[in-house]
Amino acid sequence: MMKLFDQNRHIVQRLGFIAITLMALVTVLPIIGTVAFILVKGGSAISLEFLSGFPHDGMRAGGILPAIIGTLYLTLGTALFSVPLGIAAAIYLSEYARDNQLTRLIRLAIINLAGIPSVVYGLFGLGLFVLFLKFGTSILAASLTLSIMTLPVIISTSEEALRAVPQAFRTVSISLGATRWQTISRIILKEALPGILTGIILGLERAAGETAPILFTGAAFFLPQLPHSPFDATMALPYHLFVISTQVPEMPIQIQYGTALVLLVFVLTMNVIATVIRSRARAKRQW
Amino acid sequence: MVDKIIIENLSLQYSDGTESLRNVSMGIPQNAVTVLFGPAGGGKSTLLRCLNRLNDLTEIKASSGRILIDGENILDPKTDVIALRRRVGMVFARPVTLPMSIRENIIYGLELAGEKRKSKLDEAVERSLKLSAIWDEVKDRLDESAIELSGGQQQRVCLARVIALQPQVILLDEPTSGLDPISTGKVEAALFELKKEYTIILVPHSVQQAARTADHAAFFLTGELIEYGDGKSLFTNPKQKKTEDYVMGRFG
Amino acid sequence: MEKSLSWREFIITRLIQSSGYSAILFVALIFFFLLREGLPALGEVDVSSLLNFRWYPIESYFGILPLISGSLIVTLGAALIAVPFGIGTAVYISEVAPRWMREILKPLVELLGGLPSVVLGFLGILVLAPFLRVFLNLPTGLTAFTGSLLLGGIAVPTVVSVAEDALDSVPRAYREGAWALGATRWQTIWRVTLPAAKSGVLTAVMLGVGRAIGETMTVMMVTGNAPVLATGLGSLFAPVRTMTATIAAEMGEVANGSTHYHVLFFIGMVLFIISLIVNVIASSVVFRAKKRAERILS
């Protein structure tokens, strides 16, 4: 009797494990499928002209250079604001903040920033940067909007990396006559660097792929030339993909897949770099 | 003999409610090894961390009393703690070398103090490593990572790192607790040399080590200084019952 | 020299401190600008017309109920997909998978989180919608259901990573205790590990749902954009339009300061408040769970 019961339990376990493995596979396989599908379908569109030319014939021919450059500008612009601010905020939380109401409020604010819908960021950017500060629909306004959206990712990953550095390093450094900032700048930041870099790249990856926050703050439908200053609007890969897949009738499918491929490669490269930095740092770490 | 440090009515309570020191008064003489010993939680480490104000990093609820080093009260809020910590160096229980080369570890404090001359730095590296009895073992690999060294070697590098700053007082908090007997012997021998130049305060990791190294010894129990006196007589002929029980190993 | 050092230290400390506070400032600024541009809507349109069934801004019909119902039905569908698959995957990664499998799965799920939503929307239009139209024999493939499927995929990484963290933080001793009492690993998962991680898993579900409500581009591209009030399950297979998609689709074409403009900001404000509530509740669950763990350990 006991034995039968035992056997039953193990059959249940076997079935359960199979079911849950299948669930994981159903979750993961479409990801691989999506990436592979776009790589295959878009591959034939890629050519030097496609990557380095301007769109023409109502975007139904030519290249996507302005969108690529635009996304680069926006990503760099986002980094310019969000990286220093994000790292500084992470340093504050990990090295300076005491466990009190104010700190809890800051953490709550960060969690909330992470949860605000991207289109609401777009509205905010429109209200503050485009209209109130009169930056206009511009790279500057879009980058600032994306920066604030990226901030929580950078702050929380950097804080985690800083906290992982052993407390003993801080005590020792202080005991040798270092100030708090000397300790941070000479030891803690150096040790936390790989983790911080990973966070930055993951944050920027998200910014590079976003469309909704730049819809009303900086994205242009079509521009015959590259932007000249931060106060110009710009084309961007994600918005361009949106435009050519929904707004332009009789759009050649090839160009659509090609654009999706370039955007995907852009984002995936950042993702892979982040993963590599993280795993190499883990392997090398001596503490 | 001159008292380098005078502790007057020092009391301290941590924020979590634990009381760590109760009305401790004692004088610590120059150029000698003063040993603070007793069971865990007696307040020895807390006292050490008061002497270089490392307790500033911890949440403290209340403290009172004075600590005079060369007549100056270092607990005064106006004290330059950075300068104090250069004057009062500390070696910790766990050997923690910073994640950099051996040379960089030694000159870390000096560079922070503004010393840039290479000749001075090189001189300090050699002198302090020799005083810590580790020069011969590491002189050919000064630019290798300090973390590669063994625990005993790392601890002596930590000692050298403190000596390089030319402090007046060296605090050692169970510096040999994780080391093998041979490394322990080397550290103790180094202390014997060092006391000619410095005032040394040691929290030993055993009564035996206390007896071996102490010129003066203070017995601490639950935050109170029970007995303080000459190293030889305190271990052979303690005056207090509690001290005797502890020294004889009859302590619960 | 010491003097200049302490000045530098002082300034740097202030800079770092204000950066730390900046997160609060940004949330406040976002809320302020949404209120500033959104509240006038209440003066220009009365509440009864806002809570109406007809969204047709050109003729000044600003009933947001169809948009809310659109968001709800798409999100509900997404949750029905993301919750079981997300938790299942999290359990698999944390409790069942061999180490090498874990090393492959985790970055892959993270990758899904990083896929731009516009790419998913693009594939939704070109591949998923035509397939569903034929497969389910519908007049159009651009339906709430199509949106739900893709949104489910977008919410999954959030659910997986938060739930996996929660499962991971269950002390190993709990599991070993259960095994020692003769429970199989499967029983341990259901009766010990998951219940112990309950609050974290709940947080995962909430954050996943929050992510789904806020998603914009994918739903705008694949749900057909018809502002029709959802009345039942049947609406799942008809075109709908969500709050986010409405803002994204219409904001570019309205005149600044018009009633339509204010109403769109008002919808943004509603979305902001929803996400605020979701995140405040989710984080208080996290805090409470942590306190309980501290109690157990002390």
Residue A30 belongs to a domain: no
Q: Kindly state the DSSP code that residue B97 receives in the 8-state scheme.
A: -
Share of chain B above pLDDT 70, in %: 98
Task: Out of B80, B83, B114, name the one closest to residue C1 (CB).
Answer: B114
Pairing state between β B88-91 and B169-173: parallel
Query: Chain A partners of C21 at a C-beta cutoff of 8 Å?
Result: 106
The band of A180, judged by pLDDT with boundaries at 50, 70 and 90, is: very high
Amino acid A275: pLDDT = 85
What average pLDDT does range C77-91 have in this prediction? 94
Amino acid C4: pLDDT = 61
Amino acid C3: pLDDT = 53
Mean pLDDT score of chain A: 91
Pairing state between β B19-29 and B3-14: antiparallel
Query: Taking Cα atoms as reference points, which of A5, A61, A9, A54 lies closest to residue A225?
Result: A54
How does pLDDT run across A58-116, given as a tens digit for each residue?
888 888 999 999 999 999 999 999 999 999 999 999 999 988 899 999 999 999 999 99
**What's the fold here for domain B3-97+170-247?**
Rossmann fold (3.40.50)
The band of B121, judged by pLDDT with boundaries at 50, 70 and 90, is: very high
B98 and A169 within 8 Å at the Cβ level: the answer is yes
Query: Chain C partners of B82 at a C-beta cutoff of 8 Å?
Result: 2
Residues belonging to chain A with any Cβ–Cβ distance to chain B shorter than 8 Å: 166, 168-179, 182, 186-187, 190-191, 286-287
Q: Which residue has the higher pLDDT, B44 or B248?
A: B44
| Whether C145 contacts C132, CB under 8 Å | yes
Amino acid C141: pLDDT = 86
Share of chain B above pLDDT 90, in %: 57
Neighbouring chains to B with at least 3 Cβ pairs closer than 8 Å: A, C
B80 and C2 within 8 Å at the Cβ level: the answer is yes
**Domain range enclosing A162:** 48-52+62-284
Structure tokens at A259: 């654009």
How does pLDDT run across A14-46, given as a tens digit for each residue?
898 999 999 999 988 988 999 999 999 999 989
Its ipTM equals 0.90
Find which of A98, A103, A172 to mutate to test the B interface (most B CBs within 10 Å of its CB): A172
What average pLDDT does range B143-158 have in this prediction? 91
Res C298 pLDDT > 50: no
What average pLDDT does range C27-47 have in this prediction? 93
CATH number of residue A114's parent domain: 1.10.3720.10
Domain count, chain A: 1
How does pLDDT run across C166-201, given as a tens digit for each residue?
898 888 888 888 888 888 888 899 889 999 888 889
Amino acid C297: pLDDT = 42
The band of A191, judged by pLDDT with boundaries at 50, 70 and 90, is: very high
Query: Taking Cα atoms as reference points, which of A14, A51, A120, A1 lies closest to residue A262?
Result: A51
How does pLDDT run across A134-167, given as a tens digit for each residue?
999 999 999 999 999 999 999 999 999 999 999 9
Res A5 pLDDT > 50: yes
Element containing residue B21 per DSSP (H, E): strand B19-29
Structure tokens at A184: 């941070």
Task: Out of B96, B99, B162, name the one closest to residue A191 (CB).
Answer: B99
Amino acid C80: pLDDT = 94
Residues sharing a CB contact under 8 Å with residue A209, sequence separation 6 or more, in sequence order: A238, A263, A267, C114, C115, C116, C117, C118, C119
The CATH code that applies to domain C65-297 is 1.10.3720.10
Res C67 pLDDT > 70: yes
Query: Chain A partners of C99 at a C-beta cutoff of 8 Å?
Result: none
Q: Model-level pTM greater than 0.95?
A: no
Side chain identity at A126, as an amino acid letter?
L
A176 and B165 within 8 Å at the Cβ level: the answer is yes
Res C289 pLDDT > 80: no
Q: Could you give the dihedral angle defined by the CA atoms of residues C264, C266, C268 and C270, in that order, rounded to the nearest 10 degrees? A: -140
The band of C286, judged by pLDDT with boundaries at 50, 70 and 90, is: low
Query: Taking Cα atoms as reference points, which of B137, B131, B139, B185 lies closest to residue B162?
Result: B131
Q: Which residue has the higher pLDDT, B15 or A200?
A: A200
| Whether B214 contacts B34, CB under 8 Å | yes
Task: Out of B94, B112, B145, name the one closest to residue A176 (CB).
Answer: B112
What is the number of other CB atoms lying within 10 angstroms of the CB of residue A148? 26
Distance in angstroms (rounded) separating the CA atoms of residues A206 and C194? 31
Structure tokens at A221: 């439908």
Mean pLDDT score of chain B: 90
Q: How far is CA B117 from CA B107, B120, B240, B248, in A?
A: 11, 5, 53, 53
A255–C contact, CB cutoff 8 A: no
Tell me the range of A2-11, A43-52, A126-135, B9-18 where mean pLDDT is highest: A126-135
C1–B contact, CB cutoff 8 A: yes
Structure tokens at A153: 């990712």
Distance in angstroms (rounded) separating the CA atoms of residues C185 and C178? 9
Distance in angstroms (rounded) separating the CA atoms of residues A154 and B94? 33
Instruction: Give the start-to-end residue ranges of the domains of chain C.
Output: 65-297
3-state secondary structure of C170: coil
What average pLDDT does range B170-199 have in this prediction? 90
How does pLDDT run across C199-252, given as a tens digit for each residue?
889 888 988 998 899 999 999 999 988 888 777 777 888 899 999 999 999 998
Nearest-neighbour CA in chain C from B110: distance (Å): 14
Mean pLDDT score of chain C: 88
3-state secondary structure of C52: coil
What average pLDDT does range C115-131 have in this prediction? 93
How many inter-chain contacts (A to B, CB under 8 Å) are there? Answer: 60
Amino acid C237: pLDDT = 87
C127 and A37 within 8 Å at the Cβ level: the answer is yes
B114–C contact, CB cutoff 8 A: yes
Q: From B114, which residue of chain C is nearest by alpha-carbon distance? A: C1
Q: Which residue has the higher pLDDT, C180 or A239?
A: A239
How does pLDDT run across B79-98, given as a tens digit for each residue?
899 999 999 999 999 999 99
| Whether C150 contacts C222, CB under 8 Å | yes
Instruction: Give the start-to-end residue ranges of the domains of chain B.
Output: 3-97+170-247
B82 and C2 within 8 Å at the Cβ level: the answer is yes
Nearest-neighbour CA in chain C from B113: distance (Å): 9
Q: From C37, which residue of chain A is nearest by alpha-carbon distance? A: A127
Query: Chain A partners of B147 at a C-beta cutoff of 8 Å?
Result: 286-287
B82 and C1 within 8 Å at the Cβ level: the answer is no
